[in-house]
Structure 1
Amino acid sequence: MADFTHLHDFLQPLSKASLNEDQEFDIAQIGGITDLFEDGELPDLEAADIILLGVGENRGNGPGKKSTDAPDLIRSEFYKLFYWHKDVKIADLGNLQQGVSLGDTYAALRTVLGELLQLQKPVIILGGSHDLTLAQYQAYAKQEFVIEASIADALIDLQEESPIPATGFLMDMLTEQPNYIKHYNHIGFQSYFVHPRMLETLDKLRFDCYRLGKIRENLEEAEPVLRNTDLFSLDINIIKHTDAPANSLSPNGFSGEEACALSRYAGMSTQLSTYGIYGYNPAKDKDQLTAKQIAQMLWYFMDGRSVKNKEALLEERDAFWEFHIAFGDIDTVFLKSKKTGRWWMQLPGKDFVPCAYSDYLLASNNEIPERWLRHQERM
């Protein structure tokens, strides 16, 4: 059993009572069953299915920005929700202590996540400014783990030499050497906010970018992307202002229900190990509606985790329907899970990769699915 007591130095404990206006949570509520860092004792991380970590660091949004109480406001709303998923246990490590400098906070987050990655359990980071994604990635790089990363953001934070880390961290993340990102996906960008050359650059690198409108046409297209993801980072600016009032970037975006669906897809992934939710500014919120929105996204992540626990391994072929398809000169196999309805397709090297029903339909009509081509290009 791994010893995590040394993490005490990086963390601030919580008080369940203070998160619920000095009242006890009902045992049927999530707060009633969550094992959290309280009274100096760390939760049982070995027994947990999901680990929560708050990081209120906000200096990455620019000079004069301070730490926020965003993680605790989200917790207060999340813990009030009812506990439906008896097979999913939660441990809450409290909040990361803010460093003297922003770089110190990065180093602390990198260290704590690096330790938690050993557990092979998803860690949900409640941020904080979006540049914390860089430290989230560096936790993998420090371990020399080669990963697939996905970011959901209305913007593409690739501004070179930006004085504000939150608008340029992606440049460091994708160009840092040595680099451990084998593939990158960008979900939900809004075209009018993005310089065309940014998209051209990412496309030349064979990275996949999904426009907001494209994903909203068929939200299930995002599920195979997140199924294959190790690191997922979400900026709440992807949610339209009416559903997340703290997002003042745009009146357009995903609906609250669609954001919950994306979170559920992330929970269903067997590969995902860190999920950061960033950009929540309580000062801009109204009636804590954005905190409630994020809390419900966490509930749906749990729901996805419960689905994931029921999924069979690909080797258990009796648990899948098997379809042999020929398109062009290519013979391949599609698998559909009898338990969850999810799809996989076989590449020429005989490996199976996540796909969507739409890929199967294209192949059935003798068309080569774009997802199949992109995988081939990267290989």
Structure 2
Amino acid sequence: MQDLRPFFTPGHFIETKGPGTYEPLQWGANIQCFTSDQFNWEDADIIILGCGEQRGDDPEANYSNSPDAIREQLYNLYSWHSAVKIADAGNIRQGETVDDTRAALRIVLEELQQAGKTVIVLGGSHDLTFQQYEAFKRTGKMINASVADMLIDLDETEAMTSKSFLMDMLTAQPNFVKHYSHIGFQSYYAHPRMLETLDKLRFDFFRLGKVRDHIEDMEPVLRNSELFSFDMNAIRYSDAPVNVNGSPNGFTGDEACVLTRFAGMSDKLSSLGIYGYDAANDTHNMTARLISQMIWYFIDGYLVRKTEAELHEHEEFVVFHVSFTDNDTTFLKSKRTNRWWMKLPNQAYVPCSYKDYMLASSDEIPERWLREQERLL
């Protein structure tokens, strides 16, 4: 791995804290921080890095210290996850232009991706999601990507912005997005033709109300994703008061934590980005506290992935043979985590939910089955 120190700002958040600031079981005493004389992340399972670049939202915006505001809250939380090793690389150095910062972030993410690390990016504006994607693209890996956002950022603009990055990510050629899922959009903010575009591409999009009614259905979606990007505007204003341009409707704080825990549980997912946080607009640091709890739950979910069995370990699964509408298939249920998979006609297993199994057992075709079949054609 190349020396990545030149891409980071000098001085780490932890260096502003004196000895004994954190109790032995708080994250601040257990996260390995990369200071100038200690920069080795070989043993880390999860690496945190900040990028306060906001010029994708506003070309005149200053570089934000918001990642450190999140660290202020995160480091005070108690660690219940001694089996998971966390490292904090610090903040990406601001470039002369927004593209310079993006390039630095992409290089760091690509190196960590190749090293097999799981990375949490603390943004910054939502367009930095594209750098998450670029890290996979540069290695030639096809991925499934999921985004939680009240908006669908498919505007057509000359330069990439936080409102248009999905257009580049989903349509540029060559393209390495095998499948895309949009979680929690709010219909009154979504142009109908945007949804038509996603549908024609056979991508999935889940309305806020549908997700909130059956949030457990998002677990298979995230279990099948390599990349998850979370825009804080997906959370309602009362739970995330940083959202000055947000909505009175949205996910609650605990629902946001459920989604990041689902992401942590996925053994495929190696890139989580949390964007749209500006400490200057935060009331009583409440949104920073929420983001720190979302990270805590991601780590909590990571413990589950470390205990899950491989699908070839047949003795670790309960097997259900089901016939529905002239289709014969097999469902697997993990004895360790109670998660479900279903077999497609091409013999591949895909993540599913208990509801999918119940629908098939009632001789109904699960929608997840239909969508997977469409994508195989």
Q: TM-score range by the shorter chain?
A: over 0.9
User: Could you list the runs of 5+ residues in structure 2 that have no partner in the other structure?
Assistant: none
The answer for the alignment partner of 1:217 in structure 2 is 213
1:303 to 300, 303, 307: 300
State the Cα distance separating 1:119 from its structure 2 match.
Answer: 2.0
The secondary structure found in structure 2 opposite 1:290 is: helix
Task: Tell me, in whole angstroms, the C-alpha distance in 2 between the residues paired with 1:163 and 1:283.
Answer: 26
1:142 aligns with 2:100: no
1:131 maps to amino acid: D
**Corresponding position of 2:331:** 334
Q: Out of 103, 108, 116, which is 1:107 matched to?
A: 103
Aligned to 1:88: 84
Q: Distance in 2 between matches of 1:45 and 1:353?
A: 33
Tell me the amino acid that sits aligned with residue 107 of structure 2.
T
> Do residues 9 (structure 1) and 9 (structure 2) align?
no
Say if 2:127 and 2:160, in contact at 8 Å, map to a contact too: no
Aligned length: 374
CA separation of 1:281/1:162 partners in 2, compared to 1, >3 Å: closer, same or farther?
Answer: farther
Contact 1:158 1:170 in 2 (8 A): yes
Whole-Å Cα distance in 1 between the matches of residues 247 and 171 of structure 2? 29
- Structure 1 residues 63 and 112: alpha-carbon distance in aligned structure 2, compared to 1, 3 A threshold: same
What 5-or-longer segments of structure 1 have no aligned partner? Answer: none
Query: Could you report, residue by residue, the CA deviation over 1:180-221 in whole angstroms, capped at 9, with x for unpaired residues?
Result: 001000000000000000000100100000000000001101
> Structure 1 residue 57 and structure 2 residue 46: aligned?
no
Q: What residue is the counterpart of 1:290 in the other structure?
A: 287
SS at match of 1:167: coil
CA contact (8 A) 1:14 1:37 kept: yes
Paired residues for 1:1-379 under 5 Å: 3-4=1-2, 6-12=3-9, 13-18=11-16, 20=17, 24-42=21-39, 44-161=40-157, 165-248=161-244, 249-379=246-376
In 2, Cα distance between equivalents of 1:57 and 1:134:
13
TM superposition shift of 1:8: 0.8
* Contact 2:13 2:90 (C-alpha < 8 Å) held by counterparts: no
Matched to 1:223, the amino acid is E
Distance 2:123 2:115 in 1: 21
Deviations for 1:255-281, whole angstroms, at most 9, x for unmatched residues?
000000000000000000110000001
The amino acid that maps onto 1:334 is: F
SS in 1 for 2:137: helix
Residues 188 and 215 of structure 1 are in contact (CA less than 8 Å); yes or no, is this contact kept in structure 2?
yes
Q: What CA distance in whole angstroms lies between the structure 1 residues aligned with 2:195 and 2:289? A: 33
Counterparts of 1:315 and 1:71, CA distance in 2: 41
Deviation at 1:23, TM superposition (A): 5.3
**1:45-79, CA deviations, whole angstroms, 9 ceiling, x for partnerless residues?**
22111110100101110221111111001011001
One-letter amino acid matched to 2:375: R
Q: TM (normalized to structure 2)?
A: 0.97
AA at the equivalent of 2:194: M
% identical aligned pairs: 54
Is the contact between residue 150 and residue 229 of structure 1 (CA under 8 Å) also seen in structure 2?
A: yes
What amino acid does structure 1 have at the position aligned with 2:176?
Y
TM-fit CA distance, 1:24: 2.4
Secondary structure, counterpart of 2:163 in structure 1: helix
- Alpha carbons of 1:196 and 1:342: their partners in 2 closer, same or farther (altered >3 Å)? same
Task: Determine helix, strand or coil for the equivalent of 1:73.
Answer: helix
Tell me the distance in 1 between the aligned counterparts of 2:171 and 2:332. Answer: 36
Q: Deviations over 1:317-366 (max 9, x none)?
A: 11111100000111100011111111000001111100011100100000
Is 113-122 or 290-299 further displaced after alignment?
113-122
Output the CA distance in 2 between the equivalents of 1:335 and 1:169. 37
Report the CA distance between 1:17 and its aligned residue. Answer: 4.5
Q: Counterpart of 1:100 in 2: which secondary structure?
A: coil
Separation in 1 of the partners of 2:109 and 2:223?
21
- Give the AA of the match of 2:118: P
Is the Cα contact below 8 Å between 2:143 and 2:178 reproduced in 1?
A: yes
**TM superposition outliers: structure 1 runs of 4+ over 2 Å:** 20-24
- Are the equivalent residues in 2 in contact too, given 1:324–1:331 (CA < 8 A)? yes
CA contact (8 A) 1:122 1:273 kept: yes
- Alignment partners' CA distance in 2, 1:118 and 1:188: 31
Supply the RMSD in Å over aligned alpha carbons: 1.3
